[in-house]
Amino acid sequence: MAISRRILESDEYVRRGEWYRSGTGWHPMMMLGYDVHGKTLGIIGLGRIGSAVARRAKGFNMKILYYGRRRKLELEKELGAKYVPLDTLLREADIVSLHVPLTKETYHMIGEKELRLMKKTAFLINTARGAVVDTNALVKALKEGWIAGAALDVHEQEPLPPNHPLYELKNVILTPHTGSASWETRIKMANIVAENLIAFAKGEIPPTLVNREVVKVRKPGFT
């Protein structure tokens, strides 16, 4: 919503005094952006986070397309989502939201070819991993107007270095990997760590253990 409605640009416009100097309180063409309601959302990676995004998008009456390694029929029914090939998603979506892990297969999966497939009025949202997107190609796309804008919470290099070309662009929002930065979420994260440690100390399998095959090599417990 922030990138599509140009919220940061508008805030800067007011703070810089440009609004006052314009002498115009309201104008039909001032800071025009795009609605989110009723648009097509393309989700790449309909996992736990991607499906959570889809559930929230339903509140905006969005049409949901998704692409992933495999179809998820139950989620399709629940969310009213439609599985499509990646090229189709990129061509049809007004907003493309990335929710995939960084692997050999997903490294730079959004590059020049993919960005050129997107609508000129479309937005790219990356809250997955920075290297899923080819940053150089994205800078070119934003400068030359292949797409309308982007919002990036993750970057190929973190922290983002000074004088990076992304800083020069008004049609991109840059945040410092703060997608989970709320008191509620960080407290939940800390509780999950504690629950896993307690389970391990009791000789139980930690509830959110990722590499579960490790218990075949070493049983849980400190003794």
Please, which residues have CB within 8 angstroms of residue 16's CB and are 6 or more apart in sequence? none
Q: What is the DSSP string of 184-217?
A: HHHHHHHHHHHHHHHHHHTTPPPTT-S-GGGGGT
Cα atoms in the Cβ-side hemisphere of radius 13 Å centred on 198? 6
Say whether 155 is catalytic. no
Omega within 30 of 0 (cis) for the link into 85: no
CA distances from 152 to 92, 160, 209 (A): 21, 11, 29
Which of the following is catalytic: 18, 78, 158, 195?
Answer: 158
Catalytic entry in 5, 116, 164, 177: 177
Cα dihedral value 18, 23, 27, 30, nearest 10: -10
Residue 177 annotated among the catalytic residues of the structure: yes
**Can you tell me the distance from the alpha carbon of 23 to that of 42, in angstroms, rounded to the nearest whole number?**
40
Active-site amino acid positions: 129, 158, 177
